[in-house]
Amino acid sequence: MTIATPSPAPADAPPAPRTIYRHRVATRLWHWLNAVTIFIMIGSGLTILNAHPHLYWGAYGANFDHPWLNTIHWPSYVTIPAHYNLAIARRWHLLFALVLAFSLLAYMIVSVANRHFARDLRVRLRDLSAANLWHDLREHLAFRFHDPADPRAYNIFQKLSYVLVIFILIPVMILTGLAMSPAMDAAWPWLLDLFGGRQSARSIHFIAASGLTGFIVIHLVLVILAGPINEVGSMLTGRWRVPEEAA
Amino acid sequence: MSLITRRTLIAGGAAGAGLLLSGCDQVAQVPALRKILFSGEIMNRGLQRALTNRDALAPEFSAAEMSPRFRVNGTHNPNTAEYTAMVAENFAHWRLQVGGLVAKPLSLSLAQLRGLPARTQITRHDCVEGWSAIGKWHGPRLATLLNAAGIRDAARYIVFTCADLYGGAPYYESIDLVDAFHPQTILAWALNDHVLDVGHGAPVRLRVERQLGYKHAKYVMRIDAVASLAGIGLGKGGYWEDHVDYDWYAGI
């Protein structure tokens, strides 16, 4: 068996696209598991919300009380299941709540151990300077999302949004979810103190879910703008091609 | 990056999301997948029971924190001939039967039940639909009755059979012994300092404070200690569990 030796590239050819290993396997696994889980949580959550589409502040709240928000009736093309079935929606929601919580926990442990958080998500004080924020905002508006000097690094808006999702929004979803469980309220009454009562927890659950939905929309738009084949591919294989302008 | 590839990818993503949505509906129909979907209840109950104190008390509130109006839900009036007759005579001949796997079956009048030592608790009622109401409940602990009847070692569940009919059969619910002997599990005969009215389950309803509203059986007529839920109704431990797939464990 012979191995073909590649002929050396002509000197005047353009440089081959540079690829770097950007996403570790734990990050990629959690990303896709989380993508499916959050999709199911939002769909089944909207069915559950359809059962009583009114949100209150405080410990109690029912038909004769004053809601701060009456949501729309969520249409069948965004709910799980499509046709209203509270029991089945709860089955989806409460099973995947376990997936959401325990996969976040596992991802956090691995990401501390492999220094993903420290290397990629640590927000430094100088990142938050007005000059840097203004610079990164201008770069965003010009559709340049990578620092040519260090294309692997996340820009400040990426860092802040990932930190928001991983350390605030998803943990708030989990804790407000637990605060709605009457058995958990008996066992861990601090959950109610933390959020100001069960109906407040339910309202905050909805607000955090809206925040996550907003993140997903912006995330998808930016993936499309940054080059979806390269971005989705890197989240599948880990290997990311450094964009021409950043090379 | 060519626009067509982008379009293909976006369309592909949207189609994928649509497939996943309709896929979720299919899953609930396939028996093996349905079993996985329904296993969340066992995992959640197991985790809650393993990680938290089984005797923890549900939060209790002050009179100032009560709902101004405690809404009626579920059956507003059983409206059967028997129940209407009982209301007309102010439950004078109503008897609560306690039986099943007990050493000494009981048959209590309302006066006897009201004569038992009672607990008063201002607690939050959480409906499976999402709303909550806070009210003041008063009545004897279920444990008092179960101890008086002497439940046998083989008993695992307590079943409540009610006066209101659903699909022609009496509403029923069941709880395990952890909740049955919990200090806040009471047979309430008063709400907000008034004798329980028809809408809220007269003359007696169950309060099982660490679970959702549908477990709190209204119009209770019979209490039975049983070894298994099989053979009662469709065997899943309650009307909603039997007919619309609600979780039997409603602590979450």
Q: What is the pLDDT of residue B236?
A: 97
Beta bridge partners of B166: B169
- A89, B2, B112, B249 from B128: Cα distances, Å: 11, 49, 33, 12
Peptide bond into A14 cis (omega under 30): no
Report d(CA B66, CA B50) in Å as an integer. 32
CATH class label, A19-246: mainly alpha
Q: What is the pLDDT of residue A200?
A: 98
Q: Running DSSP on this structure, what letter comes out for residue A7?
A: P
Q: Tell me the shortest Cα–Cα distance from A124 to chain B, in angstroms.
A: 33
Q: What is the pLDDT of residue A12?
A: 58
Query: Per-residue pLDDT tens for B55-105?
Result: 999 999 999 999 999 999 999 999 999 999 999 999 999 999 999 999 999
Q: What is the pLDDT of residue B61?
A: 98
Peptide bond into B203 cis (omega under 30): yes
Burial B166-199 (b: 16+ CB within 10 A, else e): beeebbbbbbbeebbbbebbbbbbbbbeeebebb
Q: Residue length, chain A?
A: 247
**CB of A69 within 8 Å of any CB in chain B?**
no
Q: What is the pLDDT of residue A204?
A: 98
Q: Which of residues 45-64 of B touch A (CB under 8 A)?
A: 47-48, 51-53, 56-59, 61
How far from each other are the two terminal CA atoms of chain B, in whole angstroms?
48
Q: Running DSSP on this structure, what letter comes out for residue B130?
A: S
Q: What is the pLDDT of residue B19?
A: 76
Q: Hey, are the CB atoms on A86 and B44 less than 8 Å from each other?
A: no
Domains of chain A, by residue range, sit at 19-246
Question: Are A34 and A100 within 8 A, CB to CB?
Answer: yes
Report d(CA A59, CA B70) in Å as an integer. 14
Q: What is the pLDDT of residue B27?
A: 83
Q: What is the pLDDT of residue A245?
A: 61
- Grouping H, G, I as helix, E, B as strand and the rest as coil, residue A245 is helix
The dihedral region occupied by B79, where left means phi > 0, alpha psi between -120 and 50, and beta the remainder, is left
Residues of chain B with pLDDT under 70: 1-6, 9
Pull the structure tokens for residue A77. 């093309």
Q: Which residues have CB under 8 Å from A158's CB, separation 6+? A: A145
Q: Hey, are the CB atoms on A228 and B6 less than 8 Å from each other?
A: yes
Taking residue B72's Cβ as centre, other Cβ atoms within 10 Å add up to 15
Beta bridge partners of B190: B138, B195
Report d(CA B57, CA A191) in Å as an integer. 14
Report d(CA B139, CA B135) in Å as an integer. 13
Q: What is the pLDDT of residue B25?
A: 82
Residues of chain A neighbouring B7 (CB-CB closer than 8 A)? none
Q: Tell me the shortest Cα–Cα distance from B124 to chain A, in angstroms.
A: 7
Which stretches of A64-206 are assigned E, i.e. beta strand? Answer: 69-70
Q: What is the pLDDT of residue B6?
A: 65
CA nearest to B211 within chain A: A182
Residues of chain A with pLDDT under 50: 1-2, 4-5, 7, 9, 246-247
Q: Which residues have CB under 8 Å from B120's CB, separation 6+? A: B136, B137, B138
Q: What is the pLDDT of residue B23?
A: 79
Q: Hey, are the CB atoms on B133 and A51 less than 8 Å from each other?
A: no
**CB of B71 within 8 Å of any CB in chain A?**
yes
Report d(CA B123, CA B63) in Å as an integer. 10
Please identify which residue in the block is written with the tokens 């989705």.
A232
Q: Are strands B220-226 and B95-100 parallel, antiparallel or unpaired?
A: parallel
Q: Which of residues 141-200 of B touch A (CB under 8 A)?
A: none
